[in-house]
């Protein structure tokens, strides 16, 4: 979908303003020149500035007629199915990651996504398994992000 720059600019302005409003009450850390509001405030300021620039650019652009325009892929059942599988896999992870664990949930998600994109079974299974293991290693071991073990809790390392 193509979205007019003015609409995106207004969205970014609203989002940045909302973040700036939310962080206004963050307390300062005693003895520190920076507090917990510094980085969200910088990002929100950048969003507001980018949004304002997009609004200005969008209002000056006379060639863009529509506020929203659908892309050609929207008329393709295959691509719409892939989008639906993607959205359903995110919901699946939210609902079942704690019970099944990261390994099973991630593997099943990747299999569903690859099959929606018509990847062969052999390549789907191999890449899904390797990607699940690599992502688990990166998050669990390197970044120390606690991923759910689910049914594999007795064998967690």
Domain boundaries, the chain: 2-69, 73-155
CA distances (Å), 68 to each of 11, 48, 51, 62, 84, in order?
14, 22, 17, 15, 21
pLDDT tens profile 37-60: 889 999 999 999 999 999 999 888
Instruction: Please state, rounded to an integer, the average pLDDT across all residues of the chain.
Output: 91
Answer yes or no: is pLDDT of 1 > 70.
Answer: no
pLDDT band for 18, please (50, 70, 90 cuts): very high
CA within 13 Å, CB half, 4: 16
pLDDT band for 70, please (50, 70, 90 cuts): confident
Assessment of whether the complete model's pTM goes beyond 0.85: no
Question: Contact at 8 Å (CB) between 102 and 92?
Answer: no
DSSP reduced 3-state for 64: coil
Type and span of the H or E element at 108: helix 102-116
pLDDT tens profile 97-132: 999 999 999 999 999 999 999 999 999 999 999 999
pLDDT band for 36, please (50, 70, 90 cuts): confident
Contacts of 132 (CB under 8 A, 6+ apart): 102, 103, 106, 107, 110
Q: How far apart are CA 117 and CA 83, in angstroms?
A: 10
Q: How far apart are CA 40 and CA 55, in angstroms?
A: 22
């Amino acid at each position: 979908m193509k979205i007019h720059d003015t609409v995106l600019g207004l969205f970014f302005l609203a989002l940045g303003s909302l973040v700036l409003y939310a962080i206004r009450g963050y307390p300062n850390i005693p003895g520190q020149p920076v507090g917990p509001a510094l980085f969200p405030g910088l990002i929100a300021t950048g969003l507001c500035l980018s949004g304002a620039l997009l609004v200005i650019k969008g209002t000056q652009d006379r060639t863009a007629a529509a506020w929203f325009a659908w892309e050609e892929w929207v008329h393709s059942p295959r691509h719409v199915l892939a989008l639906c599988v993607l959205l359903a896999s995110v919901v699946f992870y939210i609902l079942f990651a704690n019970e099944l664990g990261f390994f099973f949930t991630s593997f099943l998600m990747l299999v569903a996504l690859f099959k929606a994109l018509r990847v062969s079974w052999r390549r789907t299974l191999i890449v899904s398994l390797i990607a699940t293991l690599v992502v688990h290693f990166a998050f669990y071991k390197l970044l120390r992000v606690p991923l759910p073990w689910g049914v594999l809790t007795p064998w967690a390392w």
